[in-house]
Chains A and B, each alone.
Chain A
Amino acid sequence: MNLLQRFEIWVSLLVILICLVFLWESRDLPPGSFEPLGSGPVPQATAFIVIFCAGLVILNALRKPVQLSENEETKEQPSIRAGLIISLATVIYSLVLHFRLMPFAWMTTLFLVITIWGLERFEKKKFFPALITAIVIGFASEYLFTEVFIVDLPT
């Protein structure tokens, strides 16, 4: 089974799970009082059709012959490290902003330094360009959004 087939199966299963959660939550929705349909039938019907389609995708993925796709054989290996760096750093950045542990400009600068430098494989010569970019963007964005665009920031 190639990577795409595996993704098709797992993502379809996830979609089915989401629909089941919606169906579970919609079980107690009251029938319509002054209108014939009520709140439940539309989301329920939608969820059932999505489950049906996801089932079709899973069946199709299982029926496909097992072979590596052309892309998979020739494509350059993805940089999992870079994906993890940016994902994890964003979650931590959001958590810090959520709990207001650091001012926005400082936290943004820190986030940018770590992420840019991380994506550059922590090469020494890239640290200063990363630091300068981070400071400029971190503080300039706070000024731009709060003073020019008058948008609140999580500070």
Chain B
Amino acid sequence: MDLELLFAAAGQILTPWPFFLLFIGTSLGILVGAIPGMTGAMLIALTLPLTFYMDPFNAIVLLVAMYVGAISGGLITATLLRMPGTPAAVMTTFDGYPMARNGRPGRALGLGITASFVGGLIAWITLATITKPLSVFATKFGPFEYFTLIMMAMVLIASVSEGSLAKGLISGLLGMLISMPGVDPATGMPRLTFDWYMLNGGLKLLPVLIGVFAVSQIIKDALDIGQVPERIAMSSKGMLMSIRDFLHQGVNLIRSSLIGTWVGILPGIGASIGSVIAYTAAKNMSTTPEKFGTGSEEGIVASEAANNATVGGALIPLIAMGIPGSVIDAILIGALMIHSIQPGPTLFLTNADIVWGMIAACLLANVLMWLLMTSSVKYIAGLMYLPRSFVLPVVMVFCVIGSFALNNTMFDVWVMLIFGVMGFLMECAKIPLGPFVIGFVLAPLAEEKLRSGLMMTAGDFSPIFTRPLPLFFTILAVILLLWPIVGDWVRKRRLSHK
């Protein structure tokens, strides 16, 4: 770890303007996380246009702070409304809500907030220590290593996404296909443009992102506008964890944080899966598993520690290899590219200040998140009851402005609306949206690597099977692809035997 660079970055963030952005980012993230239907991905996608004219360091500090805040803020609605503010907080609803209904909302929120902080801290230690060695290792990757790694990541994302493997693959590969119109990266000639000059530059990430994540969510929320949440009286009693609590929950906290960090590192999986695995592990290892689902403290701690730990974990592949660890990381990659910074293993060499800024912002935003949420969760909770009829149209206006601002053209607004409808339809068919965006971001890199590899070998694909790393990634991808099919077959056989 380059402590000197880390301290320099932290020092820079603690100067007035970057600190103000860190504060605004964390606060907005928490607020958006606390409003049902609004997600961190939505907030970051809408904020991206505002960062065009910012210094890249400040822009990244703002976006990382939003990321940390949004994942944490989701626990408020999960606990008080049984409605996860962000998908990552879904497991918190199982125990947070029953505990709040039993008259201990402060205790439920306090456990969640501190667990989030500890999860974020443990993940941050991993982030700060292993990212650089991993990026040094990744600089040895050739085109085939990269191509097979991306393919493995896509299969992994598809296989663990909500719904079936086929739906995950449809989403990821459709995202890849949609990113292909425009200038061919190898020949420089336009392709798949349907003779329409507006498509010569290809479809831009930002309108597609805003459409898929924000517009589709607005339509969905408008359809559910009749659902009125039940109010739970809020009290801050029991908010702070005692030393006894730490001793009692210590193993659970560390285990869940490590699970979250590891899941975050795996490309494209994200916070929801991390909290599901940590929750299941906590339940299996608990001496009182029967309490899970009825207001168990262990359940809340496991879920929240893991989902916050995925934030730091997911930043590791982003910084070390340029591969997004989650949907929000895909947006962060977009943000880096907008600021002419090429994500990948050379990032430590070319933009060390940005990388260490990102790492330092992750830590400081976690600390700020804990302070803000512990001191003002009572007031933030009031936001959950904002009438959606007022919030949704305002967010739609920001979607239009955000898409227009990219190139000052209404073409991007129409692209946003079309992808909004597409995202909504995909959600209705339970086709996950995460793989779509990650596929969209990774496709140009995958194609470029494959084609440059083939140029080096004069069209010979055999290095995929003769070099150790590409072979390893390919075998892993095949196993991941076959796993659900084989698992299904085994389950059916067992049932028929019974």
Which positions in A face B, CB cutoff 8 Å?
4, 7-8, 10-12, 14-15, 18-19, 22, 25-26, 29, 32-37, 39-40, 42-43, 46-47, 49-50, 53-54, 56-57, 60, 76-80, 82-83, 85-87, 89-91, 93-94, 97-98, 108, 111-112, 115-116, 119-120, 126, 129-130, 133, 137, 141, 145, 149-154
Instruction: Say yes or no for B339: interface residue by CB 8 A criterion.
Output: no
A-B contact pairs, 30 of them (CB 8 A): A18-B174, A18-B177, A22-B192, A29-B192, A35-B186, A35-B187, A35-B454, A35-B455, A36-B454, A37-B186, A39-B186, A43-B191, A46-B173, A46-B177, A57-B166, A60-B166, A79-B224, A79-B226, A83-B219, A86-B218, A94-B400, A115-B392, A115-B393, A119-B222, A126-B389, A145-B405, A149-B50, A152-B408, A153-B401, A153-B404
Q: Are A97 and B454 in contact (CB under 8 A)?
A: no
A-facing residues in B374-391 (Cβ within 8 Å): 387-390
B401 near A53 (CB under 8 angstroms)?
no
- Contacts A18-B174, A85-B222, A94-B414 given; 6 further ones with Cβ under 8 A? A11-B425, A35-B455, A39-B189, A98-B414, A149-B50, A154-B404
**Residue numbers in A under 8 Å from B186 (CB-CB):** 32, 35, 37, 39
Which residue of chain B lies nearest to A87 when distances are taken between CB atoms in the complex?
A: B219
* B394 adjacent to A112 (CB under 8 Å): yes
* Contact mask for chain B residues 197-224; partner A; CB cutoff 8 A; 1 contact, 0 none: 0000000000000000001001100111
Given contacts A97-B413, A133-B390, whether A37 and B454 have CB atoms under 8 Å apart is yes
Q: For the complex, give the distance between the alpha carbons of A56 and B163 in Å.
A: 13
B176 beta carbon closer than 8 Å to chain A: yes
Interface residues of B in 217-257 (CB under 8 A from A): 218-219, 222-227
Interface residues of B in 420-462 (CB under 8 A from A): 425-426, 428-431, 447, 450-451, 454-455, 458-459
Q: Nearest chain-A residue to B459 (Cβ)?
A: A36
Which chain B positions have C-beta within 8 A of A4? 428-430
Cross-interface CB contact of B397 among A40, A129, A141, cutoff 8 Å: A141
Which residues of A are found within 8 Å of B394, using beta-carbon distances?
112, 133, 137
Which A residues are in CB contact (< 8 Å) with B404?
A: 97, 152-154
Please name all residues of chain B whose beta carbon is closer than 8 Å to the beta carbon of A29 when the two chains form the complex: 191-192
Q: How far is the CA of A2 from the CA of B338 in the complex (A)?
A: 43
CA distance A112 to B392 in the complex (A): 10
Interface mask (B402-425 → A, CB under 8 Å = 1, otherwise 0):
001100101001100100000001
Given A46-B173, A57-B170, A151-B405, A39–B430 Cβ distance below 8 Å? no
Q: Which residues of B contact A33 (CB under 8 A)?
A: 187
**Given known A-B contacts A80-B223, A97-B413, A141-B401, A90 and B396 have beta carbons under 8 A apart:** yes
Secondary structure type dominating chain B contacts: helix
Interface residues of B in 49-90 (CB under 8 A from A): 49-50, 52-53
B184 within 8 A of A: yes
Asked if B365 is at the interface of the complex by the 8 Å CB criterion, the answer is no
How far apart are the CA atoms of A75 and B425 in the complex, in Å? Answer: 19
Q: Is B169 positioned at the interface, with any CB of A under 8 Å from its CB?
A: yes
The reply to whether A37 and B393 contact each other, CB–CB distance below 8 Å, is: no
Q: Contact at A90–B417, with CB atoms within 8 Å?
A: yes
Judged by a CB distance under 8 angstroms, whether B194 is at the interface is yes
Cβ A151 vs Cβ B413 within 8 A: no
Query: What residue in chain A is nearest B422 (Cβ atoms)?
Result: A14
The answer to whether B132 has its CB under 8 Å from any CB of chain A is no
Residue of A nearest to B223 (CB): A78
Are A50 and B458 neighbours in the complex by a CB distance under 8 Å? no
Cβ contact within 8 Å between A36 and B458 = yes
Contact present for B219 and A86 (CB under 8 Å): yes
B107 at the interface (CB under 8 A from A): no
Closest beta carbon of chain B to A145's beta carbon, Å: 6
Q: Is B164 an interface residue (CB 8 A)?
A: yes
Return the chain A residue nearest B402 by Cβ. Answer: A151
Inter-chain contact A57/B164, CB cutoff 8 Å: yes
Q: A76-B227, A82-B222, A94-B417 are in contact. Are A43 and B164 (CB under 8 A)?
A: no
Q: Which residues of A contact B426 (CB under 8 A)?
A: 11
Bound-state CA distance A32–B185 (Å) is 12
B389 x A119 contact (CB < 8 A): yes
Bound form: Cα–Cα A82–B458 in Å: 57
Find out whether the CB atom of B455 lies under 8 angstroms from the CB atom of A151.
Answer: no
Q: Are A86 and B393 in contact (CB under 8 A)?
A: yes
> Does the CB pair B397–A111 fall under 8 Å?
yes
Q: Is there a chain A Cβ closer than 8 Å to B180's Cβ?
A: yes
How far does the Cβ of A131 sit from chain B's closest Cβ, in whole Å? 12
